Structure formats: structure tokens, C-alpha cells
Structure 1
């Protein structure tokens, strides 16, 4: 019996030593994985060095894109040893209508630092992007920026539309554990086999974009004219019924043409998404979003990062003044939209299918439903105050994901 116990102990010790050696080998593999220096500039989201100025009757702001192609500080300015959080999302994350430091990612960063967290929140938002594009950005950016946490901000209704791609199963616990313990070895092997492309093998960088406020306003006015020319009679009739202020803003380039085009072509879209059993976020759409979230999850775990998804409250479901703004744009609106859980539940269903943690803050926003300065009246995006409220409300979920 004693010899058996000794042999068992030796076996356990051998396994422990082998495990320790494998983990040490993984850390050594990081030297090969990161051996190739990154180029001076990358196009992770936008052409690096771009600079745009936007001005409407509701706001004016400037966009500057850094050397790696996203709207944030220079990547080399991120403090050494900071807990890195990547924020994926659309124009609500990018900060349409506000300066860079007023966006929710940067306000979240300030909140975390005020609470003693050595954190950096990196803004990878892109106007017009959807979950498919979030996944593409994640697969490009995560190996380069090496985050600890990836947060995907999903806009209610807008991000729950789409045709489903082929859905891969969520990663098993074995895959998750392996990527936690040996991320560098697995990445090295996958790059050697061609399964993964190294970070240095990214797409070519396009020339920077430059435009002042007048150029952007002129471009939007031109796009509005094209929308008008393509309207069918029923859509044109709905457009002509809009109040003159809205039509003037649209035709002069002071309002996003896409907003009016969708509102007049699909006026019931937002209301239908809030009706139980009639939501547009059907099984196919939920499956499509889940598939893209799985891609983000896989890219994260291959690089040792955690994931979290949060829903972004659309004003039509969270704020009385914003709901009135959507009505003015041509959407069919119902006060019941301000109490519906359907928009969040559709996102939750996609996250559950992808096995990704999910946080919703719509109810917290509804506690401020009578405040008229959280969303721009016609544009519909967060104001600086709206960004601040969103950052404050998701901070507890972020801290929990960080293990704080």
C-alpha cells in the first residue's frame, strides 16, 4: 500500500512538473508570436491619420483617427500594465455627435480609474457597423491590441436585423481552458498552420480621409437628394407628411439621410420590435447575431481575453423626448415601447446562444425617461450626458468582469 501511495505521489508530481513546463513553454512561445514588430500604422477600423469635422443644428465635433486606425489616443500612449478593454459597437460607441473624450468608452475609463482601476478603454466603434463587422474588427484588432476584456455594445433593434451565416457551436470548456493556459502556444501553432494570420499580415492601409464640416454637410445633402429620387409613391407621401423642420434638416445635410429613408420606408419597425411575439428579431436574426458573437468570443479566448456584451438603449425604448423625436422622423410610436422588454430580450437570447455574459441598462435609463437631454432630439444619438449615464450604468458589470 505504501509503495502504491509513493508511486501515486510521484505520478502526481510528474504531472505537476509537466504542467509547469508546458505553461513556461507557452510564455516562451510569446517571444515567437510577438517577434515581428507591428508596422508604424494599421487600418483596424478607419484609414489612419484621418480627420473629419461634422456640424449640424444639434452638434459640432471633430474626429481624429490614430496611427492604428481607430478614434482614440495613440496606442503607444496607453499606460504600461493597464487593464485593456476593447469597446466594439456602432455610432453610439464611436460617439457620433460628441468629442472623443465625451464618448462612453472614455467616460467609462475615467470612472474605472477614479475607482482605483489601472484601466484603458479602447474605442473601436464605427458608424453604420453591425455585429458582422464587429466580429471582423475583433479578429483584426484583438491580436494587435491584446486586451484583457472585449465589450460588445449591441444597439437595440438595429443590431438585431440580419440573415444568419453558418453558426458554429460556442467554444467548449476544454477549448476555453486551453486558451487560458496556453494562449501563445496555440496562437503560434495556428499561425504556422495558416489557421490564423499574424497581426503583421493585415490589409493594406488606405490614404487618410480629410473633410471639413461644409464638405460633410454637402455630402449628406447629396445623399438625401438620392434618397428622395428613389422613393416610391407611398414612401414619398409619408415623407411629405413630416414637419417642415425635419424635412429642411434632411434636405440641407443636417440630418443623417439613412434615418429618414428607414423611417419612411419601414415606419413600424421600432414599434413592431417592442411587441411580444411580433418582434423582427426572429430566430434567424438571433442566430445571426449569436454567430458573430461566437466569432468575437473565439478571437478573444485565442488571445486570453474575457468577453461581455451590453445592450445600448435606443431612445425610442427608454426616453419620452427621444420617442417623440422618432415620431417626428416618421416612425409609428406607441407609449408602450417605453415599458417593453422585447428589445433587450432579443439581445439576451443571442448572447445566451453564444454563451456570452450579458448586461442590460435599459431600466436604469428609464428612471431618467423624462430628461430631455440624454439623446439628441432628431439625430437620436447619445448626448455627452447620455454617454456619461451609459458609462455609469455599465461600470458595475465591467468591474465584475474584471474580477473587482
Structure 2
């Protein structure tokens, strides 16, 4: 009869032991979760110091910054404060300069805005200091906005060019711009959403993810599981080819817009963390080339006559030699060291062009 043989008592003991083990594990998880929430939160959040959020909707750009906004971003990897000035751009230290100073307007996304980094250490500031240390009288105007792609940056340029009156427009370009770019006349994307803390997020899971992503090979393999790997595939599929062609068209339009206004134009290509780790370690993923986007769009730049500044070699060489993180693993933005290397590489590339005069930039 069922329940009378030796099998059933063993099964009941197994079920009882499993239930006790599960209960102990659940209690341990709850204790760990409570301790992390109280002592070392792992889920990022934004604390607004002003009475309003940093971003406001914009019918063309998707969003723009609200003048006077002030906030602090809290993350287990860093804490940083963002201040937005009266002009709707992040506040940066302003050097003393005369009216003859070369004005450089830098457009870009969150890397240019300086997410995860205090204002004086963002790569645009490092570049400005390095150029001035070389005896070049320059003033850098950082107009980076989180979430912008090439389409939004071209629209934003048309709004602020007459106000800033730059001698040179420098575009901070990332490969993820290729993923999101749409035609210039396409509807605006959704407005930026700030992190306010995800109440349902488990801090223990966030910690486990951060520890896993701390391993270089694990990070690269996790990247390969995402749809972003398609943009480094060789040969690219039809969708990627279409997006690269669209991006090339937008870059050409930005260059032409500057050219007719007698303004120089150049692009600095900022690599994703995946590219730096993969090349520095020599990881090989079949059918994947981390340099393919730079190669394709760098050729477009050469055809159109504007400089393409690739900072990937400088980042790879430093990481290979020192092994110090250049990006925050989970957040994905530059550390101070990454900002410094990118800024110095840009200064190295721009200095001879600026000494030769604006005509050399065309």
C-alpha cells in the first residue's frame, strides 16, 4: 500500500529537510537584503535637490535640461552631483580667456555630459586643460545631454550654434548612437527617465550582478548575449548596414551644417567597455570585430574631409599595461582614469590641428 514501504518515510524526510533548507535560505536572503538596504544599498537612485527633475520634454529633441536643476546620483559604484546652469547645460569650471580664444563646442550623450564623474574630471575638461597646458588658448563648452544620439545632437546644434559661436564643433560619438539613430525628420524619442530608486529591485541580486560583471571575461560574454553584439558582427546584417548608412548620412549633414557656417567639425569616437576589454585581452568571438563601426564611419569621415579621433588605442594600451578600470562596470560610464585618458588622447589629436589653424580641420 502507498505510504507503508521504506521509500515513503525517506521521501517525507527529504521533503521536510528541503523545506527547512529553503526556509533557512529564505531567511538568510531576507537578512542579507535588509542589511544591504540599510548599510550598503545596491540599487541606484536620483535625489533631486531642486524642486523639480533635471529633464523636461521637448517635442523635437525628446528632452532637454531644466535650467537651475540640481541632483545627486547615488550608486554603489559612485556618488556624483549634477548642476544645470541657466543656459540648460551642465555647469563646468570656466577658465579665464580673452576674446581671441578658440571656442570648442562639444556635443554628445551621457559620456560627454559626464555621467558618474564630478565636473572638473570629465574628459572635456581634461582636454581643455591639456590644450591650455600646451599654450593653446581654448575655451570648451560642454553641451552633452544624456540619451542624445546623432539625430538629436544635430537638432541641438542648430539651436545653440548662434549662441555659443564656436570655432570648432566636436562630436562625442559612441557606437550605441548607431543603434538608436532615426532620420532627422522622425518623431522625437521618449523623454529621459531619471533613476529614483526601484523599490521592487532586490539589492542582493544587484550585488550579485555587480560581482559577476567585475570579471572581464564574464563581462564580455554577457555583452555577447545582448542584441548589441549584432553591431559588431562581420559581415553586418541588413538592419545594421541600414543604421550605419543612416548614421553616416547624419554625420555628413552635421559636417555640412558646420561648413556653410565657417565652423570646423571633428568627431571623437568613444568606445564601449566591451571593445576595450576584448581587444586588451585578445578575446576572440567568431564573427565579431569590436573595431568595425570605427572602420566604417572613419572611412566616411575621410571621404567627407573631417577628422575622426579614435581614443580606443589609448584606452586599450593603458588597460593592458595597468589593469585599472576605465569604466564603472555596471553603470558603464568612464571612471576618472577613463576620462583622463580620453581627454588627453583628444588633446594630442587636436593640438596640431589647432596650431595649423581652422582650415586644417576641414
Give your verdict on TM over 0.5: yes
- Report the CA distance shift for 1:287/1:121 in structure 2 as closer, same or farther (over 3 A): same
Secondary structure of 1:61's match?
A: strand
Compute the displacement of 1:397 (Å).
Answer: 2.2
Q: 1:385 aligns with which of 325, 337, 343?
A: 337
- 1:47-126 map, 5 Å: 47-73=66-92, 79-126=98-145
Matching residue of 2:198: 221
Secondary structure of 1:63's match?
A: strand
Matching residue of 2:352: 400
- Report the CA distance shift for 1:338/1:86 in structure 2 as closer, same or farther (over 3 A): farther
Alignment of 1:128 with 2:90, yes or no, is: no
Alignment of 1:289 with 2:307, yes or no, is: no
Count of residues in correspondence between the two structures: 276
Matching residue of 2:177: 159
Alignment of 1:373 with 2:350, yes or no, is: no
**Ranges in structure 1 where 5+ consecutive residues have no aligned partner:** 1-42, 168-214, 229-241, 250-262, 324-332
Q: 1:361 aligns with which of 282, 287, 311?
A: 311
Distance 2:66 2:83 in 1: 10
Distance 2:130 2:138 in 1: 10
- Report the CA distance shift for 1:92/1:166 in structure 2 as closer, same or farther (over 3 A): closer
Distance 1:338 1:362 in 2: 16
Compute the displacement of 1:122 (Å).
Answer: 1.1
Alignment of 1:303 with 2:261, yes or no, is: yes
Compute the displacement of 1:289 (Å).
Answer: 1.3
Q: Please give the per-residue CA displacement for 1:175-234, whole angstroms capped at 9, x wherever unaligned.
A: xxxxxxxxxxxxxxxxxxxxxxxxxxxxxxxxxxxxxxxx965x2416x87xx9xxxxxx
Compute the displacement of 1:139 (Å).
Answer: 0.7
Secondary structure of 1:395's match?
A: helix
Compute the displacement of 1:283 (Å).
Answer: 3.1
Matching residue of 1:150: 169
Distance 1:346 1:85 in 2: 26
Q: Are the aligned partners of 2:113 and 2:145 in contact in 1 as well (CA < 8 Å)? A: yes
Q: 1:274 aligns with which of 223, 232, 253?
A: 232
Distance 1:64 1:144 in 2: 20
- Report the CA distance shift for 1:79/1:56 in structure 2 as closer, same or farther (over 3 A): farther
Compute the displacement of 1:294 (Å).
Answer: 3.0
Secondary structure of 1:310's match?
A: strand
Q: TM-score, normalising length from structure 2?
A: 0.65
The RMSD of aligned alpha carbons is 3.8
Matching residue of 2:292: 342
- 1:131-210 map, 5 Å: 131-156=150-175, 158-162=176-180, 165=183
Distance 1:341 1:321 in 2: 9
Secondary structure of 2:269's match?
A: strand
Compute the displacement of 1:64 (Å).
Answer: 1.0
Q: TM-score, normalising length from structure 1?
A: 0.59
Compute the displacement of 1:111 (Å).
Answer: 0.3
Distance 2:344 2:177 in 1: 22
Compute the displacement of 1:322 (Å).
Answer: 10
**Ranges in structure 2 where 5+ consecutive residues have no aligned partner:** 1-57, 186-192, 212-221, 357-362
Distance 2:210 2:340 in 1: 30
Tell me which protein shows more strand as a share of its residues. 2
Secondary structure of 2:258's match?
A: helix
Q: Are the aligned partners of 2:280 and 2:317 in contact in 1 as well (CA < 8 Å)? A: no
Matching residue of 1:312: 270
Compute the displacement of 1:361 (Å).
Answer: 2.1
